[in-house]
Each structure stands twice: as C-alpha cells, then as structure tokens.
Amino acid sequence: MAGGDEQIGRVVTPAQTMDSRVSAGIIALAAITLLIGGAFAGLLVEGAHDFSGAWGAFDPYLLRVVRFTLWQAILSTLLSVVPALFVARALSRHPRFFGRAFILQLFAVPLALPAIVAALGILALYGRAGYFAGLFSAVGGQDWPGIYGLSGILVAHVFFNLPLATRLFLEALQTIPADQWRLASQLGMAARPAFRLIEWPTLRAALPGVAGLVFMLCITSFTIVLTLGGGPAATTLEVGIYQALRFDFDPARAVALTLLQIGLTFIVVLALTRLGANVVGDTNLPVAPRRYLSVNGTETTLNAALIVLALLFVVGPMAATVLAGLGADLGRLAGEATVRQATLTSAVLAFLSALLSVMLSLALTMARRALALNRRAGPRTLLEHATDTGAGFVLVVPPIVIGAGWFLLLRHAGDVFAIAPVMVVTVNSVMAMPFALRAIRPAYDAASERHERLCAQLGISGWARLRLVDWPSLRRPLATAFAFAMALSLGDLGVIALFGSDSVQTLPYLLLARMGSYRTQDAAGLALLLGLVCLALVLAADWLGRHKVRNV
Amino acid sequence: MSEWAMRGKGVPVRLEKVSFSYGEAPLTFDVAFAAAEITAIMGPSGSGKSTLLNLVAGFETPQSGRVLIGGADVGADPPSARPVSMVFQENNLFGHLSVEQNVGLGRSASLRLTEADRIAIAEALERTGLSGKERRLPRELSGGERQRVALARVLVRDRPVLLLDEPFASLGPALRDDMLDLVAGVHAERGMTVLFVTHQPEDARRIGQNLVFLNNGTVAATGSADDFFAGAGPEAFRRYIGASAGNAVSRDIARKRT
C-alpha cells in the first residue's frame, strides 16, 4: 500500500448515477411513514372525537396497568440478567468441553421460537395440568394452582431472555484479550480476583446495554402476557389495548393506553440509546478463542451445576412442547380444514411480509449508501438520517399500537377485519426490518465499497447493476434476512390478535383460539408444527448468513 | 463503438486551472499531458496524485476549472461516458464473475455480447497471457493475473486514454517489470495516452516518457523522465526519490516527507 493513503476509505462517485437508488429509499420511507402515520391519525381522530372519554380513561385502573407493566419488566430483567452474568462467566471459564457449542446453539433457540409456542411449552410443564403438577402438589401439600399471572409471565420472560443475555455477556467476555488471561494465569490469579479485575469490568460495560435490551423486550411483550397473564391483575398496556378494542370495545380507553405505551417506550428507547444499548439483539454464535485458564475443582463443580441448571430451565419448556405436541392427534389435526386453511394463510402472509420487509430494507440501505457517497464531506441531510434510522421507528411504536391506530381509523370505513391480511403483512414486515437491515446493510456497504468505482467507470447501473453486481453479492444476506423475517412474521400474534376473525386465521391465532376453548391437545400439536417451522427458518437464516462470499 | 474507438489515436488530456478540495488543503492543477505518450505522475503521499486521476476519470468534480480530453470539456460527463479506462490498485474485478465476464464488461455494461465482442475478448486474453483461464474466478488467480485481467478489459474497451493508479504497487519486483513491459507493449500497439501514478522511480524510468511531479497539492515540475532522473528535477523531487537518485541528500529527510 505504498502511498495509497490518499484514497483509503473514500469511494468516489458522481451524483448522476444515484437517483434510482435514492428514490427507492424515498418510496420505502414513504410507505413506512404512511403505515405509522395512518395509525397516529387514527389515534388522533379518535382522541379528538371523544376527548373527554379519552381523558376520562386515565383512571386508577390505568395507573395499575402502567405499574404492573413496569413491575413485571423490572422483575423479568433482574431475573434474566443477574443469573445470565454467572452462567456466561461459567461458560467463558470453560472454553472447551463436550457439548459446549450445542448448549450455545440451544440458547439461541428461544430467539427463534414464537412467543405463543414458548408460552404453551411453559404451561405444558408448569401449568395446572402440566408435567410437573403432580410433583409440585406433592411437595406443596396442596393442589398445584399452575403458573398463571405474574409468575407465569416471569418464567416465560426469563426463558426467552436468560439465554439471550447469556450469549451477549459471553460475547462481551470473549472480547477480553487472550494476553490478559495469559498474564492472569502467570500471576496465579484465583477465580475471585480474576472476576473482580478482569471479567467484571467487561461485564459491567456490557450490562446497561443487555439489561436495556431485555427491559425493552419485556415492556413490549404482548403474547406472553396475553396467554400467561391472568385477568385484570396481570395486564400490561399492550394487552390492555387489545382488550379495550376486542372485548370492551372502548376506543377512548384504547387511545389512552396507546398514548401511554408510546410515551413509555419512547422514554425507554431514549434512555437505551443514551446507554448505548443494542436494541435489536443478535443471533451470532460466539466462537471460543484460545485461553490460558486455571480453574480449580470446586469452581468447576459450581460452574457445571450452574450451566446444567440454566440448561434445564431452557430445555424444559422446549422438551415439553415436543412431548405435548407428539401427544396430540397430529393426523386428525392435519386433516382439519381449518388447520389447513390457517397454515396456508400463515405461509402466504409470512412470505409476503418477508418479501416486503427485505425490499424495504434493501431500498433504505441502497438509499443510505448512495446519499452517503454523494455527500462527500458535508453534514448528513435529514433524508440520510431518515434512511439510517427510519426502521428504528418501529421500536418506539410496537405492532399492537400500529394495529390499534388503524383499527380505530378504519372501523368507520367498514369492515376492519377485511383488511387483516394487509395489516398483518405490512406491520410484520416493518417489525422485522431492524433484523433484516442487520443482515443486509453490512453486506451491501462492503460490496459497494469494492464495486462503486468500477461500476461508475464501466457504466454499469440500474437493472444491469442489480443483475450482474448487487444480486450475486447480496443473494445470501437477502436470503438470511428473508428467512428471519418470515420466521418472525409466522410466529407473530400481535396484529392478528386485533384483526383476526373466523375468515382470516393464522396459525398463532388458531392456536390462541384452541387454547381459549381448552382444546389443549390441539394447541400443543399446532405449537409443535409452528415451532419447528420457525426453527427451521431461523437455522436456514443462520446457515445462509455464515457462509460469507469470498471476495478478491 | 464510439468515435474515439480508433486504434492508435491517443488524445491530449489537459487540466485547466482545476481546483479541488476534500475540505482541508485545496489542490490546484494546471497541466497538460501529451497525446499518445506515457506520463508518470509522482509525488509524496497526499500530494494529490490519485485525486488528479479521479478528476480526469470523473470520480471527482472540480470546484472550478475545466478538464479537457481531446480538446472537449468532459466536466458534465459521467465516468463511463468519458474516453478513459482506469486500472486501480485493487478491486478491479468483480469477485463473483469469471475472467471472461469481467473482461466482457468492458464491451457491454449489461454483458450482452455479440460474436465480434467475444472474439475481441479472446484476443485480449491471448494478448495478456490469460488464455485458458477464461472461466476462472478472480480468487483463483494470482495478484498479477488479476491485474492482467484488468488490462485485458482496457484492451477491449479501447479508449484513447488510460489511467493507471498504482496498479502494480502490491506486486513483487520481477512481476512488476513484466506488467510494465505489458503496458509498454500495449501502448506501442494502441498508442493511447497513459497517465501512470507510481511511487517507484524504477517504474517511471522503465516506461515513462514524461514525468509530472506533484507536491503540496499542485504541479511542482514537468518534463521528460530522462531529464528528471538526470538530475534536472526540482529540489523537492530529488529529496522525494532520495538515495536512489544518487545524490547527496540522505534517505532520512526523504522519509520525513512521506
């Protein structure tokens, strides 16, 4: 690289070839804005229409809901993050043992599992009629009441977030340079000082981000609270919105709840970005680096116990899902017209949603890159900011809120349930965008870094560029994003809970209906099917993402 | 192809009071490159060598002044419409396309190739010593072979100006000499105007007819390469090439400049 430093990090491109990419981004942004703006319009129209009603909805009950929303999120975060610190440490202290990679793989599964499937697994295990009910009754000396309400919500949240937090902490621990470990082992540092001097500083740095992410996931959690929360005593804002619209039909209350939810998530997201949290979560599998560790016998035993406990806690509901699912009359289920119809609906909607999600993400990525290349030295324009963080809106405005807004807006226009497919596809696609962007953006930017000048020089642009240059280098990341978005959309029980009806049912919706009518066996069978499909999709996404195209 | 695709017709390149800035120190160029000759462009890091080529190629737009190629102001033309080909130090090829396809892009940006195009591509690959490697991917080639593919594409593009931005800097000495001889050979056949940025005095000596020396973002001296190396260049040039020029100035001073 003798003297090539004038050009490092600069890809120089003229303005005139950029327009199509930027306009694609503008169209994508407009679509997202329409979706979110329409929801807000619905809320505002409703609020203005019945202002006293909306104001009157701020009653003590609402305050209780807010308090419970925060309380369960705080408890879930503590119960997930604190044990995760120690599990992650235990795993990092033993970089090589049989089954370690498998355990980490298992810890990634909850991320892929639809919330309703996990909820069902937890009920099958710890519920009133669950596998452990007999044991718990014998130990407690009375009939096991099952875990509904706060305890159920907490167990489910910990099931999802303990493995996630563990993986994130483990990743942080693996950033500790090997030199430090070599030094520690040369100095004969025991476990306690090693934790205090080496591990804790790294974990502490990662703590706000991880805790923030978990808190955010718990505060916007809908399905878990809906299926495991029991009655008005254990209701969160999101479930409150759903109940206000679907059961009480109290639009004024829905508006009040929605505004509170937006305010709450906005404050949380703001606090998180201040803390530098990563609000999307990751699915990368950490690899173990070479280590120089001396771990004594007592510590090994303790670590092993810790890992096994965490493993059992995570594997339990999964195993219960499989067992209960196999116990269902799968043959009859497969023959049922409703089930077939719901499966087909789910597949079509999830496919379209993933397609839309990938297209929107690609458009935003291309526009952002093109704008950044054109900008040269000056400050970023508003448009570039929007293409950069546009997808982040969806983090502040949860799917239920968007759904609620449109529900309120469209109920004057006729049959709200008729637009269920449109709502499910659009809201889920936008919801999956943060994940899709994470797969697409780095790949696109890297490819652009290599190809931009060459394309400009040879005049490769527009369709030819997409076909010859961008598609071959983006095929895999696009497939990763697609599979992940499709899994998310397949398992989602947010928008469909609001808009679903007998005429438009997805698998999660049908599952919820069967749970509601106490056809637990059917529900278990459906859960197994749904869980397996989502797992397969996420594994495919992971596999596609790992094979990076080698480039010259 | 277009009106300039006539063999052996290099055209003059001229930068007329061109000024440009990355936001810090401004660069100003006022220089002419003789038609159908090889001009080496030398100068310390940050003196604006690559920027000069980027201005000619159209990757950068001057803040003022005109870029003339063959007497025509090309300021409004996008890079692909200018009568130039450029070879970069790296990333000259698409990693997922075969050698043949990478060369073919020089004929058609959408890879729709006629029979005549295919013949031209085969000839170019033959000329650059790549026969038999048509179907390989760039990663299956050595560093030198990859740059040969880029040169083969220059041949099929057949434009009157060739810009070389340190294309052989990462190759070993013997390989670099081979590549330089290939460039000189191609130049002898086609007679295009070559602007050649390099850090190596030997490169400039080996194939450069003229030499333009840049310093502090402007053209410090121009002249024939032989004169420069005979010691007729400015003081800054002698300091820049240091001991290899055989004069008394020590290497340490030259190093501090870079």
Count CB neighbours of B241 within 10 A.
21
- Among chain B residues, the shortest Cα distance to A13 is held by B59
Token pair listed for A107: 């810890």
Greatest Cα-to-Cα distance within chain A, rounded to the nearest angstrom = 80
Task: Give which of A3, A11, A22, A97 is closest to A387, Cα–Cα.
Answer: A22
- Selecting from A7, A14, A463 the residue whose C-beta is nearest the C-beta of B79 gives A14
Residue of chain A whose Cα is closest to the Cα of B138? A552
B198-246 pLDDT, tens digit per residue, is 988 888 999 999 999 999 889 999 999 888 888 888 888 888 887 554 4
Cα dihedral B56→B58→B61→B62 (10° resolution): 10
Quick one: three-class SS letters along A374-385? HHCCCCCCHHHH
Q: How confident is the model at residue A257 (pLDDT cuts 50, 70, 90)?
A: confident
User: Distance between CA A444 and CA A450 in Å, rounded?
Assistant: 10
Q: Return the half-sphere exposure (C-beta side, CA atoms, 13 A cut-off) of residue B77.
A: 18
CA angle A152, A154, A159 (to 5 degrees): 95
Confidence category of residue A13, pLDDT binned at 50, 70, 90: very low
Considering CB atoms only, which of A469, A549, A552 is closest to B138?
A552
CA atoms within 13 A on the CB side of B112: 6
How far, in Å, CA of A126 to CA of B179, rounded? Answer: 74
Percentage of residues of chain A with pLDDT beyond 70: 89
Residue A314 token pair: 């995570």
Mutate to test the interface with A, among B22, B29, B59 (most CBs of A within 10 A): B59
**A contact test, residue of B96, B145, B154, B258 with most A CBs within 10 A:** B96
Q: Identify the band that residue A283 occupies on the pLDDT scale cut at 50, 70 and 90.
A: very low
Q: Give yes or no for residue A399 having a pLDDT over 60.
A: yes
Burial degree of A313 (CB within 10 A; 0-12, 13-18, 19+): middle
A12·B138 Cβ contact <8 A = no
> How many CA atoms are closer than 13 Å to the CA of A187, on its beta-carbon side?
13
Cβ(B47)–Cβ(B217) under 8 Å? yes
> Is residue A460 less than 8 Å (CB to CB) from chain B?
yes
**What residues of chain A lie within 8 A of the CB of B94, using their CB?**
451, 454, 468-469, 472
- As a whole number of angstroms, the distance between CA A189 and CA B33 comes to 68
Residue A212, pLDDT score: 82
**Which residue from B86, B110, B169 is facing A457, i.e. has the nearest CB?**
B86
Task: Give the residue from chain B lying closest to A457, CA to CA.
Answer: B80
Q: What are phi and psi of A248, to 5 degrees?
A: -80, -15
Helix (H) or strand (E) holding B88: none
Note whether A483 and A541 are within 8 A (CB): yes
What does the pLDDT read at residue A59? Answer: 78
* Amino acid identity at A200: W
Task: Name the minimum distance, in Å, from the CA of B176 to any CA of chain A.
Answer: 14
Q: By percentage, how much of chain B surpasses pLDDT 70?
A: 90
Cβ of A382 under 8 Å from any chain B Cβ? no
pLDDT in tens, A313-338: 999 999 998 988 888 888 888 888 88
Chain B partners within 8 Å of A475 (Cβ):
none
The confidence score (pLDDT) of residue A9 equals 36
Residue A286 predicted with pLDDT over 90: no
Min distance B165 CA to chain A CA atoms (Å): 9
Q: What is the DSSP letter of A290?
A: P
Q: Which residue, among A117, A146, A119, has the nearest Cα to A131 in the 3D structure?
A: A146
CA separation for the pair A320, B39 (Å, rounded):
76
Structural tokens at position B214:
């840049």
Distances (CA, A) of A147 to A125, A127, A229: 10, 5, 9
pLDDT of residue A157 exceeding 90 = yes
Element (H, E) at B86: strand B84-87
**How high is the pLDDT of residue A292?**
55
Which of A112-121, A130-139, A429-438, B51-60 comes out lowest in average pLDDT?
Answer: A130-139
Confirm if A299 and A93 have CB atoms less than 8 A apart: yes
Higher pLDDT residue, A285 or A414? Answer: A414
CA atoms of A501 and A333, how far apart (whole Å): 20
Interface touch B105/A551, C-beta < 8 Å:
no
Is residue A215 pLDDT above 90, yes or no?
Answer: no
Is residue A448 within 8 angstroms of chain B, CB to CB? Answer: no
For residue A18, give the chain B residue with the closest CA.
Answer: B78
Q: A277: Cβ–Cβ under 8 A, 6 or more apart, which residues?
A: A208, A209, A210, A212, A213, A216
pLDDT at A27 over 60: yes
- pTM of the shown model: 0.79
pLDDT average, residue stretch A452-463:
87
> For the sheet containing B26-33, what is the strand order?
B72-73, B64-69, B13-21, B26-33, B218-224, B210-215, B38-42, B193-197, B161-165, B84-87
Tens of pLDDT, residue by residue over A490-543, are 888 888 888 888 888 889 999 888 888 878 888 888 889 889 888 888 888 878
Q: Which of A61-65, A124-128, A524-528, B160-164 has the highest mean pLDDT?
A: B160-164
% of chain A surpassing 90 pLDDT: 12
Asked if A282 and A541 count as a contact pair (C-beta separation under 8 A), the reply is no
More confident residue, A394 or B89: B89
| A454: chain B residues, CB-CB within 8 Å | 88, 91-94
> Residue A141 above 80 pLDDT?
no
CB count within 10 Å of CB A468 equals 21
Q: Which residue of A455, A457, A460, A469 to mutate against B (max B Cβ within 10 Å)?
A: A457
Residues of chain A neighbouring B146 (CB-CB closer than 8 A)? 552
Structure tokens at A63: 């305050």
Look up residue A288 and give its two tokens: 């173990």
Q: Is the pLDDT of residue A549 over 80?
A: no
Q: Which of residues 65-104 of B touch A (CB under 8 A)?
A: 78-81, 85-86, 88-89, 91-97
Alpha-carbon distance values, A60 to A64, A65, A247, A337 (Å)? 6, 9, 20, 45
CB distance from A473 to chain B under 8 Å?
Answer: yes
> Would an 8 Å CB–CB cutoff place A536 in contact with chain B?
no
Q: Which residue of B has its CA nearest to A459?
A: B80
Digit-coded pLDDT (tens) for B76-102: 888 888 999 999 888 888 888 899 999
B13 versus A21: the higher-pLDDT residue is B13
Which value, to the nearest 10 degrees, does the dihedral of the CA atoms of residues A301, A302, A307, A310 take? 140
Q: A14-28, A241-255, A492-506, B61-75: which range is least confident on average?
A: A14-28
Q: Which residues of chain B have pLDDT under 50?
A: 1-7, 245-258
Question: Quick one: pLDDT at residue A336?
Answer: 84
